[in-house]
Homo-oligomer: A and B are copies of this chain.
């Protein structure tokens, strides 16, 4: 390959080292940093962010990129080099179009906004937060002006999280979901569960939950020699190389679900990162296809596998060994029903598989409406509550349980929510394709033999790193574009076995 490309790759790897250092600082901040460390940490992170930005948008980088493109003109567009150049060009054009002053103001404002939101949520004071959300939208609109858009402004925001996705396409997919989901929620609400499905509460000490969840995620294929698990308030996964990808989880003293399914969820993310080819590590193709594809991996292991009856059969002996009370008097079907209770609720992160995507559809609509000005920031809580009522039949008792519940908007992340539903839909679509290649995967799950499933994901998804956008990857792997039908069929089939519908 050309020598400019080699230099470009070296420069990008250097910047990558700084991003990785920042990621370690972020992990530490959210796990173990003492409270007093916060102000200095934010300065360390701010400088790292400023420095990497300056290094990336430097004139030298622009020239190197152009020379590399010239010397690579005509190479196989499917080669790693071509994919690298495509990804770098995208990020570079994005980064240089945003004036540094605007990027800095956005970063400073959203840090402040998150802080205000934390208190506003705790005190149920939407009016305190509203001016900050207003300003966020103003800054995002300025960014959209700089970045431009093809069809509608929201495309530009969406593209930050789901490369190449279009609002129209997402809307078309979401429209196919709304009515069937609303209908299914209503049907289940009026149906009887096929047996006791009450929560299985108990006395679950954290250290036992930790041991148990580590056993479970290790059995799935999460490599603990290249990862670890720590407790945190808001679980996340983050990696500093493909050989150091960490998960966090949350231990509830009287309920196992947050830790068990939280750990499985994060390990799904982590296994994606751990299985990106080693030669892609710290290069522009060493990431994921998109946030939606990333979420498909976490949801696959958490829901498709984790909340299935075969998995309950596999995990029950482990639960009984660790917590004889209450699990010795419990069978797999009882556990399965208890972890798959469907009921409309206010909080997205606690929602079940059926209602979850309605929470996302609501947010997608709100985001588009506040961005276009169709709904004012002042009227947003009312619009939120009305939509909750029409979709889920419930009205939040206050804004803390409504419009104030998520951190995303406070942090300036508008356009992010749809990726959660994209992930859910894709997890079912991947599962359908996997079943064509693996005979009786349920039997593998029941035996705790997860290797064939992980191998399939590695071969079909992980191996490609960020060579492809999700809209390119999905048809290659599943034979068709993202299709919500598979997710609806999965739900229909699963919940008709649990509820008398």
The residues of A with any CB-CB pair to B shorter than 8 Å are: 14, 17-18, 20-22, 24-25, 27-28, 32-37, 39-41, 43-44, 47-48, 51, 223-228, 230, 240-241, 243-244, 246, 281-282
A240 x B40 contact (CB < 8 A): yes
The complex places the Cα of A39 from the Cα of B242 at a distance, in Å, of 11
Set B17, B41, B228: member contacting A34, Cβ < 8 A:
B228
The residue in chain B whose Cβ has the minimal distance to the Cβ of A246 is B34
**Pairs A-B, 4 closest by C-beta atoms:** A37-B244, A40-B241, A36-B226, A17-B47
Chain B positions within 8 Å of A27 at CB level = 28
The residue in chain B whose Cβ has the minimal distance to the Cβ of A223 is B36
Give min CB distance, A445 to chain B, whole Å: 27
Chain B positions within 8 Å of A41 at CB level = 240-241, 244
A243 x B36 contact (CB < 8 A): yes
The residue in chain B whose Cβ has the minimal distance to the Cβ of A242 is B40
Chain B positions within 8 Å of A18 at CB level = 47-48, 51
Interface SS majority for chain A:
helix
The residue in chain B whose Cβ has the minimal distance to the Cβ of A48 is B21
Chain B positions within 8 Å of A47 at CB level = 14, 17-18
Q: What are 24 A-B interface contacts by the 8 Å CB criterion?
A: A14-B47, A14-B51, A17-B44, A17-B48, A18-B47, A20-B40, A20-B44, A21-B21, A21-B22, A24-B24, A24-B28, A34-B226, A34-B228, A36-B223, A36-B225, A36-B244, A37-B240, A39-B241, A40-B240, A40-B241, A40-B244, A40-B282, A41-B241, A44-B240
Copies of this chain in the oligomer: 2
The complex places the Cα of A224 from the Cα of B34 at a distance, in Å, of 7
The complex places the Cα of A40 from the Cα of B23 at a distance, in Å, of 13
The complex places the Cα of A43 from the Cα of B20 at a distance, in Å, of 10
Given A40-B20, A44-B20, A48-B17, A32-B230 contact (CB < 8 Å): yes
A34 x B225 contact (CB < 8 A): yes
Chain B positions within 8 Å of A17 at CB level = 43-44, 47-48
B33 x A244 contact (CB < 8 A): yes
Greatest chain B CB density within 10 A among A20, A35, A36, A48 is at A36
B244 x A34 contact (CB < 8 A): yes
Give min CB distance, A20 to chain B, whole Å: 5
Give min CB distance, A227 to chain B, whole Å: 6
The complex places the Cα of A282 from the Cα of B46 at a distance, in Å, of 15
Chain B positions within 8 Å of A36 at CB level = 223, 225-227, 243-244
The residue in chain B whose Cβ has the minimal distance to the Cβ of A225 is B36
